[in-house]
Chains A and B, each alone.
Chain A
Amino acid sequence: MKLSRRTRAIAAVAGAASIAIIAAGCAPSSDSGSDGGQVELTVATFNDFGYTDELLQEYMDANPNVKVVQNVAATSNDARANYFQKLGKKGLADVEAIEVDWLPEVMQYSDLLAPVPADLKDRWLDWKTAAATDADGNLIGYGTDIGPEGVCYRSDLFAAAGLPTDRDEVAKLLDGDWAKYFEVGAQYTAATGSAFFDSAGGTYQGMINQVEAAYEDPDSGDITATTNPEVEDLYNQVLDASATQSAHLGQWSDDWFAGLSNGAFATMLCPGWMLGVISGNAEDVTGWDIANTFPNGGGNWGGSYLTVPANGANVEEAQKLADWLTAPEQQVKAFENAGTFPSQNEALTSDTLLGSTNEYFNNAPVGQILTDRANAITVAPFKGPFYFQVNDAMQQALTRVEDGTQDKKASWDQWVSEVEAIG
């Protein structure tokens, strides 16, 4: 006991010293906040949120006493590292963007963030707010975009396999559960001898995002992944299909990018932001199209929030800015700028959104399709602090089977032992 207290004191001193060093390093940044004078707000985002200089200028014009500066990190991972190193200390921007992938980790520190005012809660889709609401009922994130999923397919390859090519007919063909999707896949593979989908991992991602409590018990927080029959079923189902129908190309690998254009696979699960990835990496291919369907209902993959650190210099002003940025009007503009699909109820009825088409995807009405896909989402999967570690291990387990390193049983057993070591 005595030892423990002493080390804690040492740790406190050490911690304080490190804070002092960090603080000293970041000292000359607080000339803002003087009463009645100019207030400078910083917004930290990553990738492309669609917040252009013109959009931010609109806010500054409406609020002459506020100056908004945006810092853009290259990747979500960079932003994540920065976020956790500074959260609760000094140095974070007044408004910080976070991604849904690491939202569960942020939720552990929800007390360090300023809650969203109660009157805004109805602005977003239910499941979007549910994921960012902590045990005390505080909503800590202003939803920006979401990733409702459809199915992208190669109409030229479908034609070669004797399958329908029109996107409405394809939607009808695929309508149903995952068994139906793999059934069509078996047809395609039998007809052409080539792969139907890109990888077991990518497909599993779509499946597991429809499970309400996949890996952890929402009440106790215990890891239940290894004993959850749903998880094992999905694991078996996707790997049984993958043996013949998968191109075995792990997502984001060089081979996968090559496969987007060389016809290695005919379909892929497609969140809205994936459209840009496909059209950007397979420019010469004319066959890609998107069908207004998703196996087993709707599914969401990805999306972001804005948060306001509670110890910032201008919390109130920052909240106002985050409120304005995530209002439906601004998010529709962001969608026009960067293709980030809005998460606000009202934005989903916007004419600009519903009327938007994508030339690359054979002029598909992507606005309407994705809106339908967003409305089809019914489940808000529970993701606790260990979700991504468990899911990461699962992705590796699927890859081990796909690349032939292990068989289905051995890989499952290894996953179980890895998950048991977590925590």
Chain B
Amino acid sequence: MTSTKTAPPSAPSPQQARPDRTERTPRRIAFGHKLSKWDLKLSPYLYISPFFILFAITGLFPIAYTAVISFMDWDLVRNSGTFIGFDQYVYVLTQPKFWIALRNTFSIFLLSSVPQLILAVFIATMLDQNIRAKTFWRMGVLLPYVMAPVAVALIFSNMFGDKYGLINTLLGNIGLPPVMWHSNAFASHIAIATMVNFRWTGYNTLILLAAMQAIPRDYYEAAAIDGANKFRQFTAITLPSLRPTLIFVIITSTIGGLQIFDEPRMYDQFGTGGANSQWLTISLYLYDIGWGQWNFGRAAALAWILFLIILAIGVVNMLVTNRLVRDEGSRDGRSRRDRRAAAIAARTELEHRVGGTVRDDFGSTSTGAATSDTNDKTTEVAR
């Protein structure tokens, strides 16, 4: 593009300059000149280097080191080990505990992330309305996030006590049998998911709220004029516009959910995931192998397995994301041209029926699916 613009007027000049250059001995480039050349070429890398140097020390090196250790029978204190190949990986993968931990991790992840996102979207929509004392409510939803996780765990462990807990006492008062929060696996997952939801719903709400406020208000006005009710506005405008933000929230909560540690660790007095591994998660299992049994070779192998699991799910996430982002805006799967054609067709038919000119806005904002639908709206507006 640029070359075609600049080439024609300055075309002869290089040829004039050429004989000059052959006569003259090449000028020695001064050191200062060299410096400035390096400056130009190297500076950008230098400016970003602190992060990467730090990352290499604190991130890359431990990751590589972990990989080395995972192939060894490692003694932490003596800092030595013997190479044993894939034995640690084989051991971990053949442990029933590992598979139970994997099941628990996904179960808790689903029980926390799904209701959490639905709730967060709902609350964010409510906060997006015209309500009094906006800042107060917005700060309010973030309050659980500010609380220390240990404090949250203390409160909830009081609620979820098997015998004298708040919830079971209430259940007993209305004549229902108590829930065995610490022996029933599913009940323990719900209890832990509740703690996670309590903490993270408000945080996700704020992110989604920010995204909602970035949606141009014109859309809603137009939709309201079209006669779309609040729910229709939500499904047709808010949700599709939230898609990129939702994807971000889903990915972060996936990573967080698969590494869940604090809540299950604080769930009972031992922090080892229950007598029958009812709420043992992968990271809890990893911690127990590493810091409970001092078997760092095995813990390193498990860490790498967890890393690969997260990576695999990350790739799936990315593929799904790519599809959704590319399709963004065309909810019914038709191309822009199709939709425009449909809109024009709808408008002409409308003109036929109503017998007057319809303003351009109507045609382009309605999805143009059903003419009768549009017709109803127009009459509604006319009234």
Contacts and interface: CB of A to CB of B under 8 A. Distances in A.
Interface of A: 3-4, 7-8, 10-12, 14-15, 17-19, 21, 81, 84-85, 87-89, 105, 108-109, 112, 249-255, 258-259, 262, 264, 389, 392, 395-397, 399-400, 403-406, 414, 421
A161 to B, nearest CB: 21
A253 B269 contact: yes
B294 to A, nearest CB: 6
A250 to B, nearest CB: 7
B201 interface: no
Nearest to B158: A254
17 contacts: A7-B83, A11-B81, A15-B79, A17-B61, A21-B57, A88-B79, A105-B294, A253-B269, A254-B164, A254-B165, A259-B163, A259-B164, A262-B164, A264-B163, A396-B274, A403-B182, A403-B183
Interface residues of B, number: 38
Given A18-B65, A84-B77, A255-B163, A405 B275 contact: yes
Nearest to B58: A21
Given A21-B57, A87-B77, 18 more contacts: A11-B68, A11-B72, A11-B81, A14-B68, A84-B77, A85-B76, A109-B77, A253-B161, A254-B157, A254-B269, A255-B162, A255-B163, A255-B164, A255-B165, A395-B275, A396-B276, A403-B162, A406-B276
Interface in B253-305: 268-270, 272, 274-276, 278, 291-294
A57 B326 CA distance: 73
Contacts of A251: 269
Contacts of B162: 255, 403
Contacts of A400: 275-276
A10 B270 CA distance: 37
Contacts of B292: 389
B293 A389 contact: yes
Contacts of A396: 272, 274-276
B180 interface: yes
B183 A405 contact: yes
Contact of B180 (A7, A105, A249, A403): A403
Given A252-B269, A262-B164, A403 B80 contact: no
Contacts of B69: 11
- In the A-B complex, the 6 residue pairs with the smallest Cβ-Cβ separation, listed nearest first, are A399-B275, A403-B183, A252-B269, A396-B275, A15-B79, A4-B83
Contact of A250 (B57, B78, B269): B269
B135 interface: no
B59 to A, nearest CB: 13
A108 to B, nearest CB: 8
A264 B161 CA distance: 15
B71 interface: yes
B82 interface: yes
Contacts, number: 96
Contacts of A389: 292-293
B95 interface: yes
B170 to A, nearest CB: 16
A7 B297 CA distance: 14
Nearest to A247: B163
Contacts of B157: 254
A15 B80 contact: yes
A110 to B, nearest CB: 11
A414 to B, nearest CB: 8
B161 A254 contact: yes
A263 to B, nearest CB: 12
Contacts of B72: 7, 11
Contacts of B274: 396
A114 to B, nearest CB: 16
B76 to A, nearest CB: 6
Contacts of B78: 88, 109
A217 B95 CA distance: 25
A14 to B, nearest CB: 5
Contacts of B269: 250-254
Contacts of B95: 421
Contacts of A253: 161, 182, 268-269
Contacts of B163: 249, 255, 258-259, 264
A251 B162 CA distance: 13
Interface string B162-176: 111100000000000
Contact of B294 (A14, A84, A399): A84
A411 to B, nearest CB: 9
A404 B183 contact: yes
Contacts of A15: 79-80
Interface string B212-246: 00000000000000000000000000000000000
Nearest to A389: B293
Nearest to A16: B79
Nearest to A251: B269
A219 B337 CA distance: 84
Contacts of B71: 7
Q: Which of A8, A255, A414 has the most CB of B within 10 A?
A: A255
Contacts of B276: 396, 400, 405-406, 414
Nearest to A422: B293
A304 B160 CA distance: 34
B161 A258 contact: yes
A399 B79 CA distance: 36
Contact of A392 (B65, B81, B165, B272): B272
Q: Which of A11, A17, A262 has the most CB of B within 10 A?
A: A11
A403 B294 contact: no
Nearest to B290: A81
Interface string B141-173: 000000000000000011001111100000000
B285 to A, nearest CB: 13
A287 B57 CA distance: 60
A84 B157 CA distance: 31
Contacts of B183: 403-405
A255 B269 CA distance: 11
A8 B158 CA distance: 49
Interface in B179-200: 180, 182-183
Interface in B64-96: 65, 68-69, 71-72, 76-83, 95
Contacts of B278: 405
Contacts of A12: 80
A50 B157 CA distance: 31
Contacts of A254: 157-158, 161, 164-165, 269
A355 to B, nearest CB: 35
B77 A8 contact: no
A76 B157 CA distance: 22
Contacts of B293: 389
Contacts of A14: 65, 68
A306 B258 CA distance: 40
B68 A10 contact: yes
A85 B80 CA distance: 13
A414 B95 CA distance: 12
Contacts of A255: 161-165
A84 B76 contact: yes
Contacts of B294: 84, 105
